[in-house]
């Protein structure tokens, strides 16, 4: 009888109620995270973005067992991106793509420098910062095939991006209208795009992450499709914006 009374009093206690709710919320959050983890683990662990000792590629750490640490940390993160564990940018000056038919900016000199997610991608891929250089460690993590990407290595982009698709510019309906009126390769109106895989960033800009998902490599290998491509075919991604 005393046990029942004590249990009833505990259940009515504000402190117990808070603890009970907090514990349940933590449990539910953990359950949700664990439910998501296998899908992400398969796509990351077996991809070139796994730079830990368990990574499948030739460029990987000789000692580090953590997979996510090369980009993310739960503490002391750079606020530029969620839990970002690298520099906010390399500080390099990039040669950006331009052509006479490009309407996103008027000249090569007026081209915007990479920003947003593209700037973060380049902290590895431009070859100016060590792959193992992370905020959460006092010294860079040792990486075989490193310490940086070098010309000739798969994944190396360098600072000359003139041969790449333009990035870090606002893709607006006005831009599409101007481009189409000039008789250039037709563009779709971005206001009509609702593709779940090929997305503009929060500022309406095309970034590396518009066509590539750094956490999902499931489409790699199909008909020459590169790593981390948003769609299983080249045309599937291109035709989201380009109206051939």
The pLDDT tens digits for 9-28 are 444 454 444 434 434 443 34
Please state, in angstroms and as integers, the Cα–Cα distance from residue 11 to each residue in 4, 28, 61, 197, following that order: 11, 20, 51, 47
Tokens coding 114: 């990479």
DSSP per-residue letters across 45-88: HTSTT--STT-SSSSEESS---SGGGTB-SSS-BTTSTTB-S-S
**Contact by Cβ (8 Å): 104, 169:** yes
Of the given ranges (27-31, 86-90, 236-240), which has the lowest mean pLDDT?
27-31
pLDDT of residue 126: 97
- Nearest Cα to 59, choosing from 131, 157, 137? 131
The pLDDT of 92-97, averaged and rounded, is: 96
Return d(Cα 116, Cα 81) in angstroms, integer. Answer: 9
pLDDT of residue 116: 96
What pTM was estimated for this model as a whole?
0.81
Of the given ranges (17-21, 100-104, 213-217, 223-227), which has the lowest mean pLDDT?
17-21
- Nearest Cα to 193, choosing from 207, 173, 179, 213? 173
Kindly give the pairing relationship between strand 169-170 and strand 205-206. antiparallel
As beta bridge partners, residue 169 has 206
The pLDDT of 68-95, averaged and rounded, is: 94
The pLDDT tens digits for 65-80 are 999 999 999 999 999 8
As beta bridge partners, residue 219 has none
Residue 30 pLDDT more than 90? no
- Percent pLDDT > 90 in the chain is 77
Residue 100 pLDDT more than 70? yes
The pLDDT tens digits for 152-191 are 999 999 999 999 999 999 999 999 999 999 999 999 999 9
Mean pLDDT for the chain? 86
pLDDT of residue 34: 38
């Amino acid at each position: 009888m005393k046990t029942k009374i004590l249990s009833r009093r505990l259940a009515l206690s504000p402190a117990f109620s808070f603890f009970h709710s907090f514990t349940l919320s933590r449990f539910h959050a953990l359950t949700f995270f664990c439910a998501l983890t296998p899908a992400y683990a398969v796509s990351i662990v077996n991809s070139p973005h796994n730079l830990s000792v368990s990574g499948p590629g030739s460029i990987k750490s000789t000692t580090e067992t953590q997979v996510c640490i090369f980009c993310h940390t739960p503490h002391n993160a750079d606020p530029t991106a969620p839990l970002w564990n690298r520099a906010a940018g390399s500080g390099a000056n990039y040669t950006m793509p331009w052509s006479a038919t490009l309407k996103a900016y008027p000249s090569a000199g007026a081209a915007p420098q990479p920003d947003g997610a593209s700037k973060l991608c380049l902290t590895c891929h431009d070859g100016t910062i060590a792959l193992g250089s992370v905020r959460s460690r006092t010294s860079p993590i040792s990486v075989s095939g490193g310490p940086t990407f070098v010309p000739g290595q798969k994944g190396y982009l360098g600072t000359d991006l003139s041969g790449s698709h333009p990035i870090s510019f606002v893709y607006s309906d006005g831009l599409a209208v101007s481009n189409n009126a000039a008789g250039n390769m037709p563009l779709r109106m971005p206001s009509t795009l609702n593709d779940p895989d090929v997305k503009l960033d929060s500022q309406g800009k095309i970034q590396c992450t518009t066509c590539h998902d750094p956490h999902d490599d499931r489409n790699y290998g199909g008909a020459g499709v590169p790593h981390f491509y948003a769609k299983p075919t080249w045309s599937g991604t291109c035709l989201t914006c380009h109206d051939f």
